[in-house]
Homo-oligomer: A and B are copies of this chain.
Amino acid sequence: MTTTQPSVPCPIGRAVGLLGERWTLLILRNANLGTTRFDAFRDELGIADNILSNRLARLVEAGLLTRVPYRDGGRTRQEYRLTTAGAEVLPVLHALAVWGDKHTEPAEPTGPLQVIHQRCGQITTPGRACEGCGEFVRREEEAWVRPWVSPDPITLASPITTDA
């Protein structure tokens, strides 16, 4: 896609050239949960402004996020919206969630991340067919509960499809 990605023959190598970076994955996690604004990413992630600027610019350049203007009082600002390519990082996030849940421990006991199939209301394993109804979990029917943040389910953000 861009110069931010090596163009090696292996698709994993190419993906890792962009996605193999901690802040990038955390930004994409939160973007998939609906975060769009610079200040919100900063506050949620506890990331330094310069690092956040750099990572957002790389993700825009690589086509995973796109800048969209919004009105903030009298000013026009830019927010960062997921593209299809950014939304399709979801299976990577699912796989990381499953691995992290199985192979690592939180410092303080906490309720687990829950993925809910909103169509049937059941909790299911990330990235699998719904364990409640057996159907494929469509993105727009998927919500996450992060009990350490809030008991309320968050429906995944919809990508905007104006990019190439």
CB pair A1–B102 under 8 Å, yes or no, is no
Stretch at the interface among A67-75, A90-98, A153-161: A90-98
Task: Tell me the bound Cα distance from A99 to B93 in angstroms.
Answer: 12
Report whether over half of chain A's contact residues are helix, strand or loop; otherwise say mixed.
helix
Q: How many copies altogether?
A: 2
A132 within 8 A of B: no
* CB-CB under 8 A for A88 and B103, given A26-B16, A97-B12: yes
A152 in contact (CB, < 8 A): no
A85 on interface, CB distance cutoff 8 Å: yes
Residues A5-24 near B (CB distance < 8 A) = 5, 7-24
Chain B hits for A106, CB < 8 A: 7-9, 14
**A10-B99 CB under 8 A given contacts A5-B104, A20-B21, A21-B22:** no
**What are 6 residue pairs bridging A and B, where the CB atoms are less than 8 Å apart in the complex?**
A1-B105, A11-B101, A16-B22, A19-B99, A91-B98, A91-B99
